[in-house]
Chain A
Amino acid sequence: MIDLDHVTRQFDGKRRVVALDDVSLSIPRGEMVSIIGPSGSGKSTLLNLVGGLDRPTSGQVRVAGQALAGLPDDELTRVRRDSIGFIFQFFNLLPTLSCLENVGLPLHLRGWPRAKVRERATELLELVQLTDRLQHLPEELSGGERQRVAIARALSIYPPILLADEPTGNLDTQTGADILALISDLHARLGSTVVIVTHDMKVAGSCQRTIALRDGRVVEDIRRSRTAPPGKVVGG
C-alpha cells in the first residue's frame, strides 16, 4: 500500500540537515504501523512524505501504487484527498466551523452535494460518539472531543490510508488511551492502513508493527503477531 524506495529528505539552510537518509520500507494494505524515535529522528518527515505533504530530495514514494514524485501540486492533493486521512497532534480543526462543518470539509472540497455531506458527517460524528456536539465550535469541546472530531474528519472519505501524527500527544493519559482504542477499533472495522507517529511506547505497542528511526535511518522494524490491548474502545 505504501512503498518507500531509497528515500532521502534533506533541508538546505545555513546548515544542511538530513532528516531521512536513504530509507526503504513497505507497508502492506490494512497494516497498523507505529513509527517511533527520538526528536529529530525523521518520524514526522516520513509521515509528511507518505502523506504527500512534502516531497523527497531523492528516492520514490508510492501510495496505493501511485508514484508521488513529480506529481503536480493539484494531482498530489487529489491523491491526498482520495486516499489519505490525517490526524494531527494539535487537532487542526478550523475554529470557525462547527463539528459538522469540520467533518464535512473534505467532502465539500470534493464537491459532494450538501445533503450527502451532512449525512456522512453526522454518521461519522455518531461513530465517534459526538452526536450531541454537531453544531458546537471546536473551542467548546474538550481536547479528547476535538481529537475525535479530527478523527471523524480524517475518516470522512473512508480513506484507505490513515496517518496520525502524535494523535495522543496533546491529551491526558486516559483520553489518549480512549483515542487510541477508537483508532484501533476503526482500523479493525474499516480495514484502513494506519500509520501512527508516536513517542509513546504504549501506543507503539498496540500496533501490529513498529518501525524505529534514528538520525533519519530505520534502525528497527518489529512485527508482532498479537498487539497489546489498546484500552477501552469508545462506544465499543
Chain B
Amino acid sequence: MQLLVLISWPYFRKHILRTLLTVAGIVLGVAVFVGMHTANQSVLFAFNRTVDRIAGKTELQVTAGETGFDEEVLERVQSAESVRVAVPMIEAVVDSQIPGEGSLLILGVDMTGDRSLREYDLESGDEAVIDDPLVFLAQPDSIILTSEFAGKNHFTVNSQVPLGTAFGVRRFTVRGIMKSSGLSSAFGGNLAIMDIYAAQKMFGRGRTFDRIDIAVTPGRTIAEAREELRALLGPGFQVDPPSGRGQQFEAMTAAYSMMVSISSLFALFIGMFIIYNAFAIAVTQRRAEIGILRALGATRGQIRRLFLVESAVTGLVGSIGGLAFGLIIARGIAASIGDLINDVYGVAQRADEIATSPMLLGLALVIGIITSIVAAFIPARQAARVDPVQALQKGKYQVLSAGENRVRAALAGIFAVVSVACLMASSSRVVFYIGFALAIAVALLLAPLLSLALSRAIRPLLKWLRPVEGALAADSLIQTPRRTSASVAALMLSLAVVVAFGGMAGASYSSIIDWMNTALNPDLFVIPSQDLTIRTLRFPAEMAQELAALPGVGRVQRVRNARIMFRGTPIMVVATEIASLSETVRRPPIEGDADAMYRLTAAGQGVMVSENLAQLQTLKLGETLEIPAPEGVVRLPIVGILVDYSDQQGTVLIDRTVFERYWRDDSVNAFRVYLAAGADVPEVKRRILERYAGERQVFVLTNTELKAYILRITDQWFALTSVQIAVAVLVAILGIVNTLTVSITDRRREIGVLKAVGALGGQIRRTIWMEALSVATLGLVLGFALGAVNLYYILQIVQHDIAGMRLDYIFPVSVTLALIPTMLASSFIAAIWPAESAVRGSLVEALEYE
C-alpha cells in the first residue's frame, strides 16, 4: 500500500490522461454490461409488475397460449372442487388515440365476480358504479380509467374517451376513476377496465375468453388445484400461477436476451483489453522505475502486487463510474428494448422505471475489478521479471525476441490445429465453444507477429507517400511491437465482432427478403391493427366473402396466427387455407416434397414446420407433432420443413380447418388479398377502406408497405449492431489515443530532432496522423480476417443456440467498406490531440530528454 502511495499515485497524477483512458476502458465495459442488463431486467420487471398488479389475489390462471378459448371452459373450471373463485378476463392493447400516450391496456372483466380478486378502489362519488355492477353492464360503452391516465389527459367521470376497436374508433364514457393503487399503476398507469362482454364485442373475440383467474378453495393447496384443473381441462390449457407469464415472456425473448448478453460480454472483454493495453504500456514506460525499485531491494512479488493493486484500484474506480454511466444509459436502452419487444413479439409493456438490482450492481462491480486484475496480470508478471541491469537499456524491451516469437507461433499453431479438430471431430456444443475460444486465442497470439509483419509491409508505401513522415510513422510501429500490437489487437477484436454481427445481420436480411418475396406475395394485406404483431383485435371470418365480393379482388386467404405453448416454449401457429395458399405460394422446402407437403397439410393430414422450430426442438421430417389445443391434442406428422420468419421461436403451419376444429376459433388476424387481373392496387385499397369506413377498424397494407414494415422491425432487431459499431469506434479512439500518447512520449527526442532540422508543425502532425492511421489499418486488416472466422462461429451459434436459423455465409462487404472510413476517421480524430501536443512540446526539453 505504501508503494502504491509512493510510486503509483505520482505516476497516475503525472499521466492523468493515460490514467483516465485506462479507467475509461473499464467504465465502457461495465457501463454497457450494467446498462444492457438493467434495461433488460427493467423490461422484464415492468412486465412482471403489470402481471402481478393485474393478478390481484389470483393464485392460478388458466390460459391456452394467446388463442383464448370458448366461454364454456369457465363453467368447467368453476365446477372444480378446489376452485373458490373463477373469473374470466380479456386483455387487449389498443391505440389510445391520444398523441404521445401510445397504447392503453384494456382489461375486460366480469364485474359481478371480479371484485373478489381485484380491488377497484374508486375515487369518492364513483363507488356506486361498481357497487351496482348492473349499472356498468347496462351501459356497454362504460369504462373505468386509472387516476394517472385520467389526470394526465384531463378526463373526469362522464368524459368521452376515444379508443381504437375492431369497429374503428369508438367513444367510451368514463364511469369511474380508480385511485392510485397496485392495479391502477399496472402498465405504467395506461390501464382501463371494461365489461368483459363489451370487450368481446369491441375487440372481435366472439364468445371466447383470454384467460380465467382463479382463487383456490380454502384448505386446498395451489398445487392440488393445479393438478385438478390440468386433469379436468387437458393438455391444451396452461394452468400456472401469474408468475408463469413472466417465465413465458422470458422464454419468448430468450434470443434477444442472449444477444444482449453477448454484446455486454463483448464490451467487458474489450474493456479488459483496453486495461491490458494500458498496463502493458505502463510497464514498458516504467521499466526504469521498476529497475530502480528492484535495485533498491523490492522483491518480484512486491512489484507484481504493486501493479495488481493498481489495476484493482483502477477497476474499482472504473466500475463505480461504469455503474453510474450504465444506469444513465439503461433508461434509453430500456425504451428501445420495450419498443423492440412490442414490435417483434407483439407483447406490449412499459418500462417506465429502471429496475436496479443490487445483485447485478454488485456483480458488475466485482466483474469490473476482476476484469481489471485479470487484464493486468500479464503486464504485472512482466514487470516482476524486469532485470534491474537491463531496465535502463532504452528501447530494447519493446522488441519481441526471436524466442518469444517462436513460442507464440508454435502455440498459435497448436491452438489452430486443436480448434479445427474441435470443429470437425465432435458435435458437442462444449467442444464447439472450446474451439471458438481457441480460434480467438490464435488471433491474439499472432497479433503481435502479424502487426510487425504488416507494419514492415506498409513501410515502403508510407515512405513513398511521405518520405519522412511516412517512414517515421512506420518505424515507430516497427520499433515498438508490444505497444502497437496491444492497440491493434483491441481493434481487431472489436472489429471482428462487428464484422460477425454485420455478416449475421446481412445474411438474415438476405434470407428474410427471400422469404418475403416468396411467401408474402399477395397484393394487399387487410389487418385490424396498425401494428402487425398486436393480435388482440381480430376480424370475423365472414369478412372474407365481403372482401372477395369487392370489384378488383381476385382471391382472399384468411390467416389466423397465435402464439401457443409447445414443450414449454411459446411458438407461433399459423393457420390458413393451405389449398389456396399452394396455388399462390410455391416455396421449396428444406426437407420434404413440395407437392405432397401442401397437399397433405391442406387435407388436414400433416403440418409444415419452420426450419428454426425443427432446429430448436430437434424435430424431424415424418415425426408426429403433438400440439396441445383447447379441444384436444393435434397429432399430425411433419410433412415439410421450410424457411419461415413468422416467429423467432418457430412456426407451425396448419390448415385453417384444423385450427377451427381444435381451437374452436374462426376469427381472422389478417386477410391476404390477391387482385384480379388488371385491377389497380391503390384503387382496390381505397374500395376496401371505403367498404368498412365507420363500421370496422381496417388497415390495408400494400405488398411494398408490408415488406417495408417487416424490414423496419428487422432493422430494430439489428440495431444492436450499431451499438457494437459505436463500441468499436470508442475502442479505436481509446486504444489509439493511448498508443499515440505513449508513442509521443517515447519519441519526444525524435520529434525534437525533426523540429530542430526543419520539420514544420504540419509535418510533425502528419507523422502522428500517419501512425494513427497505420494502427487503424492494421486493426482493420486483422479485424476483417478474424471477423471472417468469427462470422462462421456466430452463424453456427445462431443456428444451434439462438434462433435455429441456418444462414448463408456471406462476408459483409458493405459493413467492412463502411468500417474502413469510420475507423480511419476515428483514428484520425484520436490522433488530433496527441499530434497537437507533439507540435507544441518544448523543443529544448525534447532535445535534452533521455
The answer to whether B847 touches A53 (Cβ under 8 A) is: yes
Contacting pair B844 A109 (CB below 8 A):
no
Which residue on chain A has the smallest CB distance to residue B749? A92
Q: Is A134 engaged at the interface, CB distance under 8 Å to the other chain?
A: no
**Is A96 an interface residue when CB atoms closer than 8 A count as contact?**
yes
- A97 nearest in chain B by CB position: B471
Contact B757 A153 (CB under 8 A): yes
Determine whether A29 belongs to the interface, using a CB cutoff of 8 Å to chain B.
no
Q: Of A63-71, A74-82, A191-199, which stretch is located at the interface? A: A74-82
Chain A neighbourhood of B471, CB < 8 A: 96-97, 101
Please state if A109 and B847 are interface contacts (CB–CB under 8 Å).
Answer: no
Most chain B C-beta atoms within 10 Å of own C-beta, residue among A74, A94, A157: A94
The minimal Cβ–Cβ distance linking A71 to chain B, given in whole angstroms, is: 13
Q: How far is the CB of B400 from chain A (nearest CB, A)?
A: 16
Partner of A108, one of B467, B475, B750, B755: B467
Nearest chain B CB to A74's CB is how many angstroms away? 5
CB of A106 closer than 8 Å to a CB of B: yes
Interchain nearest-CB distance for B765 vs A (Å): 11
Q: In the complex, what distance in Å separates the CA atom of A78 from the CA atom of B752?
A: 15
Q: Which residue of A lies closest to B840 (CB)?
A: A73
In the complex the two chains form, is B472's CB within 8 Å of A109's CB?
no
Q: A94 near B750 (CB under 8 angstroms)?
A: yes
A226 and B294 CA atoms in complex are apart in Å by 56
Q: How far is the CB of A114 from chain B (nearest CB, A)?
A: 7
Describe A's contact surface by its main secondary structure: helix
Residues of B within 8 A of A86 (CB): 756-757
A184 to B818, CA, bound (A): 60
The minimal Cβ–Cβ distance linking B497 to chain A, given in whole angstroms, is 34
| Nearest-neighbor residue (CB-CB) of A48 within chain B | B844
Task: Enumerate chain A residues within 8 angstroms of B468, measured Cβ to Cβ.
Answer: 105, 108-109
Residue numbers in A under 8 Å from B762 (CB-CB): 74
B478 pairs with A88, CB closer than 8 A: no
Query: Any chain B CB within 8 A of the CB of A123?
Result: no
Given the known interface contacts A53-B847, A88-B847, A96-B472, the answer about A80 and B478 at a Cβ–Cβ threshold of 8 Å is: no
Contact, CB under 8 Å: A54 / B761: no
Q: What residue in chain A is nearest B468 (Cβ atoms)?
A: A108
B753 touches A94 (CB 8 A): yes
Inter-chain CA distance A90–B847, complex, in Å, is: 9
Q: Are A105 and B757 interface neighbours, CB within 8 A?
A: yes
Q: Pick the contact of B759: A82, A109, A117 (CB < 8 A).
A: A109
Asked if A51 is an interface residue, CB under 8 A from chain B, the answer is yes
Residues of the B chain whose Cβ atoms lie less than 8 Å from the Cβ of A101: 471
Interface assignment of B521: CB less than 8 Å from any CB of chain A: no
| A94: B residues at CB distance < 8 A | 472, 475, 750, 753-754
The verdict on A223 contacting chain B, using a C-beta distance below 8 Å, is no
**Contact yes or no, B467 A77, CB < 8 A:** no
User: Of all chain A residues, which has the CB nearest B752?
Assistant: A92
CA distance A69 to B55 in the complex (A): 83
Q: Is B760 a contact partner of A74 (Cβ separation < 8 A)?
A: yes
Residue of A nearest to B478 (CB): A96
Distance (whole angstroms) from the CB of A11 to the closest CB of chain B: 10
- The CA of A184 and the CA of B678, in the complex, are separated in Å by 101
Range, interface on chain A: 20 to 34
Query: B459-472 vs A: 1/0 string, CB under 8 Å?
Result: 00000000110011
Which residues of chain B from 744 to 801 have a CB within 8 Å of any chain A CB?
Answer: 749-750, 752-763
Which residues from chain B contact A88 at a C-beta distance below 8 Å?
753, 847
B476's nearest neighbour on chain A, judged by CB, is A96
Residues of A near B761 (CB, < 8 A) are 73-74, 77
How far does the Cβ of B225 sit from chain A's closest Cβ, in whole Å? 82
Interface membership of A110, Cβ < 8 A: yes
Tell me the complex Cα distance, A204–B755, Å. Answer: 28
Q: Which of A51, A54, A80, A109 has the most CB of B within 10 A?
A: A109
Shortest Cβ distance from residue B345 to the other chain A in the assembled complex, whole angstroms: 59
- In the assembled complex, the CB of B227 is this many whole angstroms from the nearest CB of chain A, namely 81
Cross-chain contact of B843 among A54, A96, A153 (Cβ < 8 A)? A54
The reply to whether A114 and B479 form a contact with Cβ atoms under 8 Å apart is no
Shortest CB–CB separation between residue A105 and chain B, in angstroms?
6
Q: Is the CB of A80 within 8 A of B758?
A: yes
Residue of B nearest to A53 (CB): B843
Q: List, in ascending order, chain B residues with CB within 8 A of A153's CB.
A: 757
Q: In the bound complex, do residue A77 and residue B847 qualify as a contact, i.e. CB atoms below 8 Å apart?
A: no
Scan residues 150-208 of chain A and give those whose CB is less than 8 A from a CB of chain B: 153, 157
Q: What are the interface flags for A46-68 relative to B under an 8 Å C-beta threshold, 1 for contact and 0 otherwise?
A: 00100101100000000000000
- Whole-angstrom distance between the alpha carbons of A73 and B756 in the complex? 12
**A114, B471: Cα distance in complex, Å:** 14
- A73: nearest residue on chain B (CB-CB)? B761
Q: Report which of A90, A93, A95, A109 forms a contact with B758, defined as CB distance below 8 A.
A: A109
The residues of A that contact B479 with a CB separation of less than 8 Å are 95-96
The A-contacting residues of B in range 834-850, CB under 8 angstroms, are 839, 843-844, 847, 850
Interface residue from A78, A80, A157 paired with B756 (Cβ < 8 Å)? A80
Q: How far is the CA of A92 from the CA of B761 in the complex (A)?
A: 19
Q: How far apart are the CA atoms of A114 and B467 in the complex, in Å?
A: 8
- Nearest-CB distance from A53 to chain B (Å)? 5
Tell me if B757 and A81 are in contact (CB < 8 A): yes
B766 smallest CB distance to A (angstroms): 11
Within 8 A of B (CB), among A19-65: 48, 51, 53-54
Nearest CB of A to B704, in Å: 58
List the B side residues contacting A95 at CB < 8 Å.
Answer: 395, 479
State in angstroms the CA–CA spacing of A48 and B845 once bound together: 11
Query: Which A residues are CB-close (under 8 A) to B759?
Result: 77, 109
Q: Shortest Cβ distance from B395 into chain A, in angstroms? A: 8
Which B444-497 residues sit within 8 Å CB-CB of chain A? Answer: 467-468, 471-472, 475-476, 478-479
Most buried by B among A51, A92, A117: A92
Known contacts: A48-B844, A109-B468. The answer to whether A77 contacts B758 by CB under 8 A is yes
Which interface residue of B475, B753, B763 has the most chain A CB atoms within 10 A? B753
- Min distance, Cβ A36 to any Cβ of chain B, angstroms: 20
B749 touches A81 (CB 8 A): no
Q: Quick one: closest A residue to B757, CB to CB?
A: A106
A83 CB, min distance to chain B CBs, angstroms: 10
Bound CA–CA A74/B749 (angstroms): 19
- The answer for the CA separation of A92 and B478 in the assembled complex, in Å, is 19
Please report the C-alpha to C-alpha distance between residue A96 and residue B843 in the assembled complex, in whole angstroms: 21
Q: Given the complex of chains A and B, what is the CA–CA distance between A96 and B474 in angstroms?
A: 10
Q: CA separation between A8 and B763, bound complex, in Å? A: 31
Chain A residues near B754 (CB, 8 Å)? 94, 105, 109
- State whether A97 touches B758 (Cβ < 8 A): no
Instruction: Note all chain A residues with C-beta closer than 8 A to B843.
Output: 48, 53-54
Chain B residues with CB under 8 A of A51: 756
Q: Are A110 and B758 in contact (CB under 8 A)?
A: yes
CB distance from A138 to the nearest CB of B (A): 12
Minimum CB–CB distance from B767 to chain A (whole Å) comes to: 11
Provide the bound-state CA to CA distance between A95 and B475, in Å.
Answer: 9
In angstroms, Cα B479 to Cα A94, docked, is 12
Residues on A with beta carbons closer than 8 Å to the beta carbon of B752: 92
Which residues of the partner chain B approach A110 to less than 8 Å between Cβ atoms?
758
Instruction: From B471, B753, B756, B762, name the one whose CB has the most chain A CB atoms within 10 angstroms.
Output: B756
- Assembled-state Cα–Cα distance A109/B472 (Å): 12
Q: Which residue of B lies closest to A153 (CB)?
A: B757
Return the CB mask of B726-751 against A: 1 if under 8 Å, else 0.
00000000000000000000000110
- B residues in contact with A77, CB < 8 Å: 755, 758-761
Q: How far does the alpha carbon of A148 sit from the alpha carbon of B401 in the complex, in Å?
A: 31
* Neighbouring B residues of A108 by C-beta, 8 Å: 467-468
| Contacts A/B (CB < 8 Å), 8 sampled | A74-B761, A78-B758, A78-B760, A81-B757, A86-B756, A96-B471, A96-B475, A104-B467
Using CB atoms and an 8 Å cutoff, list the residues of chain B in contact with chain A. 395, 467-468, 471-472, 475-476, 478-479, 749-750, 752-763, 839, 843-844, 847, 850
3 shortest interchain CB distances as A-B pairs? A81-B758, A96-B475, A108-B467
| With A48-B843, A90-B850, A104-B467 already in contact, 16 other A-B pairs whose C-beta atoms are closer than 8 Å | A53-B756, A54-B844, A73-B839, A74-B760, A77-B755, A77-B759, A78-B758, A82-B758, A88-B753, A92-B752, A94-B475, A94-B750, A96-B476, A96-B478, A108-B467, A153-B757
